[in-house]
């Protein structure tokens, strides 16, 4: 049995961005207990946000790409790296391929900007998901917002 039909797009207008933020609030703030003041940051204003939307208009997932100077602040100064972050899939959409579609859309946005690789900070429970998509872990495990994370990277 297949799941609902959905599309992934770049969140261009304020309504799309509000849907992105609503998914993030549900997943990170409500489900995972991340403080709201840590979830939303100055990077949101300059990031490329992607959004998965079901055919009936319900938001299913989101993620963002930082690039240029903003990403360099997160990835050690390398301007050829993009930073994938805030990947969130609504509970009812998990297991339907939404996360994979969002990661691939972020990678496409990175390629379109001439980036050589995408870096991310994965929650450790999600390492297998990203490894299946070609990401490789590096460095030590660390805490971010009280949640264990691991750095990962994929060349494009």
- Give me the pLDDT at residue 2, please: 56
| Average pLDDT, integer, range 122-126 | 92
CB 105 within 8 A of CB 8: yes
| Residues written for the chain | 156
- Give me the pLDDT at residue 37, please: 87
- Give me the pLDDT at residue 78, please: 84
- 3 pLDDT tier (thresholds 50, 70, 90): low
Regarding pTM above 0.95, the answer is no
Q: Which two tokens stand for residue 17?
A: 């961005």
- Give me the pLDDT at residue 1, please: 40
| Average pLDDT over the chain, rounded to an integer | 92
Contacting residues for 137 by C-beta, under 8 A, at least 6 apart: 122, 127, 131, 150, 151, 152
> Residue 152 belongs to what H/E stretch?
strand 147-155
Q: Above 60 in pLDDT, residue 121?
A: yes
Q: How far apart are CA 65 and CA 19, in angstroms?
A: 16
CB 66 within 8 A of CB 47: yes
45-94 residue pLDDT tens: 999 999 999 999 999 999 999 998 877 777 778 889 999 999 999 999 99
- 145 pLDDT tier (thresholds 50, 70, 90): confident
């Amino acid at each position: 049995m297949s799941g609902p039909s959905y599309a992934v797009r770049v969140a261009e207008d304020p309504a799309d961005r509000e849907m992105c933020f609503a998914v993030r609030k549900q997943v990170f703030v409500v489900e995972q207990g991340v403080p709201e003041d840590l979830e939303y940051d100055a990077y949101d204003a300059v990031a490329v946000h992607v959004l998965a939307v079901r055919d009936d208009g319900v938001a299913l997932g989101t993620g963002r790409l930082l690039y240029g100077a903003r990403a360099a602040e997160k990835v050690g100064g390398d301007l050829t790296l993009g930073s994938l972050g805030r990947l969130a899939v609504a509970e009812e959409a998990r297991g339907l391929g939404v996360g994979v579609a969002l990661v691939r859309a972020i990678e496409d946005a990175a390629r379109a900007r001439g980036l050589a690789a995408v870096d991310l900070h994965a929650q450790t429970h999600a390492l297998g998901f990203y490894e299946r998509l070609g990401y490789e872990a590096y460095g030590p495990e660390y805490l971010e917002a009280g949640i264990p994370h691991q750095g990962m990277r994929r060349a494009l």
